[in-house]
Structure 1
């Protein structure tokens, strides 16, 4: 296997629609707005908690990025609203404001099921125009998910290949996933969260930013049936899980579409997985307790997050 881009198999819309139907889980769970997260039971959480051995905690969220860059076209906002220069009585206070158009390539965030529609339909076949409006989402909002706690698995593809990163445009295919499981000794099983490290932010630090909409390493759609068969509950990456350029004719985010709209699997985008890669290599294990606590935003299609892995 190579870290460099290779010719990527193209997928027609007809082939994609057949794949969508193959992995679709509509009507399987109640409440439907939680989608595949219904797989995670208290037993799954207890099993995940048992993975904690030395108590090492690794934050996975990126720094709040307020600087424009090719991969940060809508920078996050941070400014002070109170510098303590008020009249007595004591104490003085310092306050600030945060804001972000977080569905992009910079802010670490969670995508809820209402984030993506395909052919005008959300997960479960609900019409997007009837369920998502100016006031937010009435189905599949981030508030439906709540805290997400489960067993996490890091697919550290650069570590498997003995490289620092995957080059933008490198497709992660089903065989790559299986090779990572074997090499790292971390099995993907029912209810777990799968985090794909491509080495994006190490490459960014060493080579500088680039436009990830034009080229980024990520899952090819042929890896999705394997993830569906294993019963994953959450999918994340240091990119947005999608391979770019897209291999699917006329569809810019096919993995988003399959995960959120067909399978009901929430997504974690733009995670900084460099510290987790180092921690997992040092511990000699690539499974851990994963804790994700999105903001409780009724009607929100997602939320900025700073997930934590505990080894």
Structure 2
């Protein structure tokens, strides 16, 4: 996908139109309130420990029509305002060297995936707050040049659970949420009511802001400056519901951040406090259409990150089945 940087939105000031700004002291109190340290073994699977075989069986029963919807964006090798480190893809074998039949074709891929362009999963080692990873582990003791010794993506394994799509543009009757629009706890409750779903224990919650559609129609911009996403006041509700995974077509955080001195407060709360892995940069447009056609916004979700020992996350192509 390509875009026109001239289409970049004018970011609002923190808290403008989205509720009051949050002080660092208030944020620290919120962090302590939603923290689940010491709750699970193994600790570095965090909230994925909530998903039991019963959760998987109930989720599998949601695959009624057999409609399969992939949720990843295309591998993006083009630089742009939302892709400062483009992915690599080149051919390493064109089948033009003499060899026994059959000839082969091979390619190489690589990516610095933590950013705004690649669909990926954040493991618990990805974010620390005040020097601490989830479960109170000291980040400098757990992560070094060799990778993560706690909270690595390899500790998570695949996740199969019930997914819930919070399709805010569908609820509000608009094509997308403008960058900078915060989603509050009241928005979540209203969306549940309008879409006929209720977030429950062990669920994966996906927020559609419509950012992919906006990018296609208006061009790329820098989501690090302005993006629709959750306000921190939505997190206690998600914590109370006992979610296992949070994600969306952005990276879950509203920007500009409403919290002084914290660029990605939802990342800090989800990963470091709650042990909830994050799915970033999904394409939820097809899922929105499939949900509207089926008349339901719950589905079987399968997330299978790469098995990377020491990895802080993984590129991923989650799959929803309705």
TM-score range, shorter chain: over 0.9
From 175, 186, 192, the equivalent of 2:203 is 192
Give 5+ residue unaligned stretches, structure 2.
Answer: 1-11
Cα distance between partner residues in 1 of 2:145 and 2:104? 35
Secondary structure of the 2:91 match is strand
Let me know the Cα RMSD of the aligned residues. 0.9
Q: What's 1:256 paired with?
A: 267
> How much does 1:7 deviate?
4.2
Q: CA deviation at 1:90?
A: 1.2
Q: 2:246 aligns with which of 211, 230, 235?
A: 235
Residue from 155, 158, 178 that aligns with 1:144: 155
Q: Provide the C-alpha distance between the structure 2 equivalents of 1:121 and 1:259, rounded to a whole number of angstroms.
A: 13
Q: State yes or no: 1:108 paired with 2:98.
A: no
**Aligned-pair distance for 1:6?**
2.1
Alignment partner of 1:282 is 2:293: yes
Gap regions ≥5 residues in structure 1: none
**Partner of residue 169, structure 1:** 180
Could you tell me which of 46, 68, 76 is aligned with 2:57? 46
Q: Per the alignment, in what secondary structure is the counterpart of residue 47 of structure 1? A: helix
* SS across alignment from 2:73: coil
1:100-129: CA deviations, max 9, x gaps? 000000000000000000111100111100
Secondary structure (helix, strand or coil) at the match of 2:238 reads helix
CA distance in 2, matches of 1:43, 1:7: 38
| 2:164 counterpart (150, 153, 159) | 153
The answer to whether the 8 A contact 2:18-2:181 is kept is no
Question: CA separation in 2, counterparts of 1:124 and 1:32?
Answer: 7
Pairing partner for 2:231 from 220, 238, 243:
220
Tell me, in whole angstroms, the C-alpha distance in 2 between the residues paired with 1:19 and 1:143: 29
Q: How big is each residue's C-alpha offset from its partner over 1:22-56, in whole Å with a ceiling of 9 and x where there is no partner?
A: 00000000000000110000000000000111100
Cα distance in 1 for residues equivalent to 2:122 and 2:273: 14
> Is 1:88 the equivalent of 2:103?
no
Residue by residue, what CA displacement relative to the aligned partner does 1:135-189 show, whole Å, maximum 9, x if unpaired?
1000010000000110000000000001110000000000000000000011100
Give me the whole-angstrom Cα distance separating, in 2, the residues matched to 1:137 and 1:242: 24
The alpha-carbon deviation at position 88 of structure 1 amounts to 3.1
2-structure distance, mates of 1:120, 1:88: 54
Q: Give distance in 2, aligned partners of 1:216 and 1:35.
A: 27
Aligned residue pairs, count: 308
Write the deviation string for residues 192-214 of structure 1: whole angstroms up to 9, x where unpaired.
00000000000000000001011
Deviation at 1:8, TM superposition (A): 3.6
CA distance in 2, matches of 1:211, 1:123: 29
1:15 aligns with 2:18: no
Distance in 1 (CA, whole Å) between partners of 2:161 and 2:54 is: 10
Aligned match of 1:205? 216
Give how far 1:262 is off: 0.2
Q: TM-score, normalised to structure 2's length?
A: 0.95
Is the partner of 1:121 in helix, strand or coil? coil
Between stretches 287-296 and 81-90, larger displacement belongs to 81-90
Normalising by structure 1, we get a TM-score of 0.98
Q: Matched residue of 1:178: which SS?
A: helix
The match for 2:277 among 266, 290, 298 is 266
Q: Is the 8 A contact 2:171 2:195 kept in 1?
A: yes
